């Protein structure tokens, strides 16, 4: 009973904030004008576009292209009005600060979660309402002009995608607004939201064009998880005192370096004590991430092995004496059987991990895990095709992968776990730490792991791959 009362009071407080915000938005012509244009004019334009596209492709006997294009335009019609939600959400706290109305708002007896949820609801309701109305206008035109009606499941998917994408944009923008001191700074940081969402729209358009509509449900589920993560992160980082006390976003390079160096050294006064801290402290903190990463790589191998049955390579590719002295001579001509070849291999591996880190930072580590799964998946695919061709996959894996894989695979697991930990650090900040301070400390821990453990493993793996693996392959596979 108490929980129900608490939930009702929480909702009442959040809705009181949202109602105030929505009322102010409906009085502002700068918000109403683009919403009205995108709701009424844009669907009519898309109706005209759909008509022209269907007429054009029908002349060449390809009506399926027009049928696949119409659902994409339906999604675009729903997306453009919700883009207004990004502008509203970016002003949610930064705009209040510039209008000098933030302090009275934070002085109210409302809880942090009520304020935060209220701002999110206010940023969602008007653009989503306009989006649904625009979809209705567009569908009406399609029914009247083209006699085209979407399948109920497709329409439900479009509405779900529109809603969840709006929630992702709003939850991310509110986090940015609560951590910046001006609307200008918030608008500059909005690219971290716009670019991923734009790439997602491109991916969804390809899925629709190929008619793989069932994949859209997985996208909805993934975006729902992103919303939960972003909302949790925003609530954890929300701090009234810091909002009122922060004067200006200043880049203090001295403070950044000091914070990083202190976290990187972690109290060590010698190389030996530093390595002890890396092995006993930093590595131990990766426990769950290490298990997740190892499990992801195992799943990648199994998926690759299974896909070999669906996309089988010609068996002739695995016949003949490929691994013999001539193969070693070719590798030697390219300089791969030398220390220089090891350096090239090391460079490729380090570059791959740095790219995985870069992508992982912006995707909470998810994209980094996927990128590291790809080579293991290809290995499983190769092994599966070997088995289908009547070869011995275990023998090939022992000859071609195991000699350097005993170091390279653990390096990938440890590095992937460190990237995952770095990506998730923004939603698990220590109490009292700002977003910048917490992320710098997490980055220092990532650097400790990669410099202290991953890099030595990769150096050893590169030397083994260049100097030992080819010779073992010739020794074991020359008679196969």
The verdict on 355 and 441 lying in the same domain is yes
Cα 298 to Cα 217, 360, 372, 412, 475: the distances in Å are: 25, 20, 11, 12, 28
Q: Please count the structural domains in the chain.
A: 2
At 408-455, the pLDDT tens digits run 999 999 999 998 888 777 666 665 566 677 778 888 889 989 998 999
Residue 368: per-residue pLDDT: 86
Q: How confident is the model at residue 459 (pLDDT cuts 50, 70, 90)?
A: very high
Considering the domain architecture, whether residues 332 and 442 belong to the same structural domain is answered as yes
pLDDT at 475 over 70: yes
E strands within 118-231? Answer: none
124: pLDDT strictly greater than 80: yes
Do both 155 and 279 map to the same domain? no
- Residue 313 phi, psi dihedral angles, 5° rounding: -85, 155
8 Å CB contact between 276 and 353: no
Tell me the per-residue pLDDT of 281-305, one tens digit each, with 9 for 90 and over. Answer: 778 888 888 999 999 999 999 999 9
* List of residues 6+ apart from 159 with CB closer than 8 A: 78, 132, 135
Alpha carbon distance 146, 168 (integer Å): 33
Q: Which domain holds residue 197?
A: 2-245
Boundary of a domain, candidates 198, 226, 245: 245
Q: Which of 375, 97, 391 is nearest to 247 (CA)?
A: 97
CA dist., res. 408 & res. 349, Å (int): 9
Query: Quick one: which of 277, 86, 112, 108 has its CA closest to 177?
Result: 86
* Domain shared by 225 and 281, yes or no: no
Yes or no: say if 305 and 380 are a contact pair by the CB < 8 Å rule: yes
Residue that finishes a domain, picked among 196, 215, 245: 245
In this structure, are 360 and 435 located in the same domain?
yes
What is the average pLDDT across 183-190?
A: 73
Domain boundary, last residue among 245, 261, 276 = 245
What is the rounded CA–CA span in Å between residue 369 and residue 407? Answer: 18
Query: Of the spans 44-53, 62-71, 461-470, which averages the highest pLDDT?
Result: 461-470
Q: What six digits make up the tokens of 393?
A: 């996959």
Question: Do residues 300 and 373 lie in contact, with contact meaning Cβ atoms separated by under 8 Å?
Answer: yes
Assess whether 258 and 222 both reside in one domain.
no
Residue 242: pLDDT band (50, 70, 90) is low
Distance CA 54, CA 110 (A): 54
Residues 6+ apart with CB under 8 A from 128: 81, 82, 85, 162, 163, 166
Count the alpha carbons within 13 Å of 48 in the hemisphere toward its beta carbon. Answer: 4
pLDDT on residue 2: 47
Are residues 184 and 35 both part of a single domain? yes
Number of neighbouring beta carbons within 10 Å of residue 343: 15
CA distances (Å), origin 76, targets 49, 140, 319, 471 = 12, 16, 50, 56
Determine whether 11 is exposed, middle or buried from the number of CB atoms within 10 Å of its CB (0-12, 13-18, 19+). middle
pLDDT over 70 for what percent of the chain? 81
Reported as a single tens digit per residue, the pLDDT across 42-66 is 676 766 676 666 666 566 555 555 5
Take residue 89 and report the two structure tokens written for it.
Answer: 């959400």
pTM over 0.75: no
Within this chain, do residues 228 and 258 fall inside the same structural domain, yes or no? no
Instruction: Give the pLDDT confidence score for residue 230 in this predicted structure.
Output: 82
Asked whether residue 233 falls in the same domain as residue 263, the answer is no
**CA torsion, points 83, 88, 94, 100, in degrees to nearest 10?**
160
Tokens encoding 27: 């009085």
Instruction: State residue 271 phi and psi, 5-degree precision.
Output: -60, -40
Task: Say if residue 110 is in the same domain as residue 84.
Answer: yes
Structure-block tokens of residue 69: 């294009």
Residues 241 and 304 in one domain: no
Shared domain check, 369 and 318:
yes
């Amino acid at each position: 009973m108490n929980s129900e009362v608490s939930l009702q009071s929480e909702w009442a407080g959040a809705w009181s904030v949202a109602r105030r915000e929505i009322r102010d938005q409906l009085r502002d012509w700068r918000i109403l004008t683009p919403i009205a244009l995108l709701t009424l004019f844009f669907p009519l334009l898309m109706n005209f576009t759909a008509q022209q596209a269907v007429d054009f492709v029908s002349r060449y006997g390809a009506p399926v292209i027009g049928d696949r294009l119409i659902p994409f335009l339906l999604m675009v019609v729903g997306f453009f009005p919700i883009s207004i939600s990004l502008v509203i959400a970016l002003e949610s706290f930064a705009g209040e600060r510039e209008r000098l109305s933030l302090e009275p708002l934070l002085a109210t007896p409302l809880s942090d979660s009520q304020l935060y949820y209220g701002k999110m609801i206010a940023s969602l309701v008007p653009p989503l309402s306009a989006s649904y109305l625009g979809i209705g206008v567009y569908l009406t035109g399609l029914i009247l002009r083209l006699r085209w009606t979407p399948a109920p499941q497709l329409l439900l998917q479009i509405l779900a995608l529109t809603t969840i994408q709006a929630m992702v944009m709003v939850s991310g923008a509110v986090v940015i607004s609560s951590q910046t001191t001006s609307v200008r700074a918030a608008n500059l940081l909005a690219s971290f939201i716009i670019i991923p969402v734009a790439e997602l729209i491109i991916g969804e358009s390809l899925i629709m064009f190929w008619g793989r509509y069932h994949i859209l449900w997985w996208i909805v589920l993934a975006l729902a998880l992103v919303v939960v993560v972003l909302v949790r992160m925003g609530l954890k980082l929300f701090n009234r005192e810091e909002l009122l006390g922060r004067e200006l976003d200043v880049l203090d390079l001295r403070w950044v370096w000091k914070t990083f160096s202190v976290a990187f050294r972690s109290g060590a006064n010698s190389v030996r004590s530093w390595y002890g801290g890396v092995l006993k402290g930093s590595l131990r903190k990766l426990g769950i991430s290490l298990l997740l990463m190892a499990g992801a790589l195992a799943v990648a191998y199994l998926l690759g092995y299974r896909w070999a049955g669906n996309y089988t390579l010609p068996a002739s590719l695995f016949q003949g004496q490929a691994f013999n002295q001539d193969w070693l001579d070719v590798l030697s001509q390219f300089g791969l059987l030398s220390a220089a070849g090891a350096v090239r291999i090391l460079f490729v591996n380090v570059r791959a991990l740095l790219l995985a880190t870069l992508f992982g930072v912006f995707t909470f580590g998810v994209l980094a895990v996927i990128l590291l799964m790809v080579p293991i998946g290809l290995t499983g695919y190769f092994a599966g095709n070997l088995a289908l061709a009547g070869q011995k996959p275990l023998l090939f894996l022992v000859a071609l992968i195991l000699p350097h894989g005993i170091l390279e695979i653990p390096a990938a697991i440890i590095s992937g776990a460190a990237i995952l930990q770095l990506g998730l650090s923004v939603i698990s900040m220590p109490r009292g730490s700002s977003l910048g301070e917490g992320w710098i400390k997490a980055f220092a821990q990532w650097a400790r792991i990669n410099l202290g453990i991953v890099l030595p493993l990769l150096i050893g793996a590169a030397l083994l791959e260049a100097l030992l693996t080819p010779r073992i392959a010739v020794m074991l596979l020359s008679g196969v």
